[in-house]
Amino acid sequence: MKEIRQMSAAGKGALVTVVASLLATPVRAKVDLVTLPARDRVQLTIYNSADLTLVRDQRTLTVRQGQNRLQFSWANTLIDPTSLDLLPRAYADRLDIAALVYPPRTRQLGVWNIVSRHAGPVPVEIAYLASGFSWRAFYMGTLSADERTMRLEGYVRVTNQSGEDYENAEVRLIVGQVHILDEIAALARREHPYGRPPLPRPIGRMEEGIAREVGGRDSDSGLKAAMVQRAMVAAAAPKEIIKEGLSEYFLYTIEGTETIPHGWSKRLPSFTAEGVPVMNLYRHDEERFGPQVIRFLSFKNDKAHRLGETPIPGGMLRVFRLADRQGALSYEGQSDFKYIPVDEDVELNLGAMETVMVEPKEMDFRTDNYLFDQNGDIAGWDETREWKVEVRNARPLRVRMELHRHFGTPHWELVNRGDVGAFEKVDLDTVKYTLEMEPVSKRTISYRVTTRHGRRAEEMGEAAGTVRSER
């Protein structure tokens, strides 16, 4: 009865049906004898870089010796028909899958012609690519009051807009950028699975069928309510997510099975790391961020930071801070971050910070060493600037400050005056000063930079990009 009910529901609901037709019926004559084997197991491998899910649907068919036709049809769900694959899980040497036929004037239907030297039940797997599932990662960080450590919680949210209810499905999530040529949804909506050869349309043939879109179907509220209830019961014991690397991807396998009805999303905890040491880094780089100081929260995806078991998928991190001993929170900011491999540093841009200030001041400017050409025109000169950069930390916390200074030319010489903290040449026209700032403190760095222009630059030779210090 269940099979019959499901078949009759196919018109309004999204349903994938497997039909074994054991009669040698002509392809166009549709199906005379129908059996609907139940799903033994279904596995969803969901990608987040593309609208793409690999569905592996295991069923047990009953075949007879000789010619068998296996009809697979779907309605109101977006399946790429060119991705259909049938794999026997037993008796593979006794089953020849001769052809997969997409009969004329039908849509969302494929028929496998199978020659069997075995009679009886055969477990098979039907694999295909479907559209409509998605997942994304997001995070919550809670800083300690001194902002030195953070509790980091990761979540994934899986959404089913496929048109199909998946009950007790094994859910796997793929982290990584997949390269595909065509959108699965577009392939699924094609009138003919592989399109048609380029030519004028045949005379007198009317194309039939209009693509039926996913969605808009009546929901079976009773079924969904039951599913949701089961899901809530399951949520009482958080499920583990098993993570492993495969090729250039990371595969997250959610423990057990999940029931995700069409239209529903499910939030699942991915990981929790307590006491992750974090560094508050404040960066001033006028070329990139303008005059403001940008706050970065940095840590490393490694064992020393109580992480490092797997890469961290990109997502939004909302950062809070424990505001008092009663656990009240204050919101610090949020940052969308990119995929973080194991052992890589993480830098979260939490936005502009007004309580740490940088004020660069040009204290002196002069030009010198003019060269003239044969016409008496200026052919080269030097420009020397004295800079004082004042850094103020108004926060009651120790912070690290990074100052990036750009010279706009590779033809420069630099003299640092006094204590300038840690100094590094970043590239041919950029240097970086790193200062450890005590709570509520002020520091000033001073330097003199000489840039050469015109023929003076040509004559610079080995002196370009050199640095020395003066006390």
Partner 1 sequence: MKTCYIVAAAIALSLAAPAGARIKLVALPDRGPTTIRLDNPHATLIEEERVLTLQKGVNQVDFSWNGVFLDEDSIRLAVLSPTGKVTLLNVSYPPGEQALVWELAAEDACEVTTRISYLLLGVDRLVTYTAAADKPETRVNLKSHIVLRNFSGEDFERAQVVMDGGVTVAESTAHEETKQLLFFNIPNVPVRKVWTFDAAILPWDPEQLNTNVGIPVRYEIENAEKAGLGRNVLWSGKVRVFQDDGRGGTILLGEDRVDLIPVGEKMKLYIGDSRDIVVTQRKMREQSFNHRRNNAGRVVLYDMDEVISVKMENFKDSPAVLTLIQHIPGQWEMKECNLPYRREEAGRIEFDVELPARGMRELTMHYQRRNVR
Which residues in the 202-261 window bind partner 1 by CB under 8 A?
202-205, 245-249, 251
- DSSP for 69-86, written as a single string: EEEEEEESS-B-GGG-EE
Q: Taking the CB of residue 468, how many other CB atoms lie within 10 A of it?
A: 8
Per CB under 8 A, the segment of 16-24, 161-169, 194-202, 323-331 that binds partner 1 is 194-202
Among 141, 154, 311, 315, binds partner 1 (CB under 8 A): 311
Longest dimension (CA), the chain: 102
Q: Choose between 42 and 63: whose C-beta lies nearer to partner 1.
A: 42
| Residue 427 beta carbon to partner 1: minimum distance, rounded to whole angstroms | 4
Half-sphere exposure of 29 (CA within 13 A, CB side): 8
- Rounded CA-CA distance 194/82 in Å is 7
| C-alpha distances in Å from residue 258, one per residue of 13, 24, 165, 233, 251 | 20, 39, 11, 11, 17
One-letter identity of residue 194: Y
Residue carrying the six token digits 């023929």: 455
CB of 430 to partner 1, least distance (A): 9
Determine the interface stretch with partner 1 among 47-55, 267-275, 383-391, 434-442 (rule: CB under 8 A).
Answer: 47-55
- Cα dihedral: 265, 255, 132, 246 (round 10): 140
Burial of 183 (0-12, 13-18, 19+ CB in 10 A): middle
Query: 273 - beta bridge partners?
Result: 152
Instruction: For the CB of residue 250, give the shortest distance to partner 1 in the complex, in Å.
Output: 9
Binding to partner 1 by residue 47, rule CB under 8 A?
Answer: yes
Task: Name residues contacting partner 1, limited to 142-171 (CB under 8 A).
Answer: none
> How many angstroms separate the CA atoms of 437 and 444, rounded?
11
CB 404 within 8 A of CB 435: no
Which of 1, 5, 93, 197 touches partner 1 by CB under 8 A?
Answer: 197
Strands 345-352 and 329-337: unpaired
Please select the residue that binds partner 1; options are 192, 303, 361, 366, rule is CB under 8 A. Answer: 192
Which span (12-20, 218-226, 341-349, 442-450) binds partner 1, by CB under 8 A? 341-349
CB of 201 to partner 1, least distance (A): 8
For position 102 contacting partner 1 by CB under 8 A, the verdict is yes
Residue with tokens 């909506």: 189
Give 449 or 460: the residue with its C-beta nearer to partner 1: 460
Least distance between partner 1 and beta carbon 347 (Å): 8
Beta-sheet pairing, 315-322 with 133-143 = parallel
Is residue 264 within 8 Å of residue 228, measured between CB atoms?
A: yes
- Taking the least distance from each CB to partner 1, the nearer of 9 and 127 is 127
| Cα–Cα distance measured from residue 83 to residue 408, given in angstroms and rounded to the nearest whole number | 54
Q: Which two tokens stand for residue 70?
A: 């296996």
Residues 415-444 that bind partner 1 (CB under 8 A): 425-428
Contact characters 257-296, partner 1, x per CB under 8 A:
-------------------------------x--------
Backbone angles phi, psi at 287, to 5 degrees: -65, -35
Spell out, one character per residue from 113 to 132, where the chain touches partner 1: x when CB under 8 A holds, - when not: --------------x-x---
Q: Which is nearer to partner 1, 154 or 313 (CB)?
A: 313
Phi then psi for residue 297, to 5 deg, are -105, 120
For residue 59, state whether it binds partner 1 (rule: CB under 8 A). no
Q: Which of 21, 45, 116, 450 binds partner 1 (CB under 8 A)?
A: 45
Q: Give 1 or 199: the residue with its C-beta nearer to partner 1.
A: 199
In the list 83, 355, 369, 444, the residue contacting partner 1 (rule: CB under 8 A) is: 83
Nearer to partner 1, 94 or 398 (CB): 94
Residues 362-421, interacting with partner 1 (CB under 8 A): 373-375, 379, 410-411
344-363 residues in contact with partner 1 (CB under 8 A) are 344
Whole-number minimum distance, CB 409 to partner 1, in Å? 10
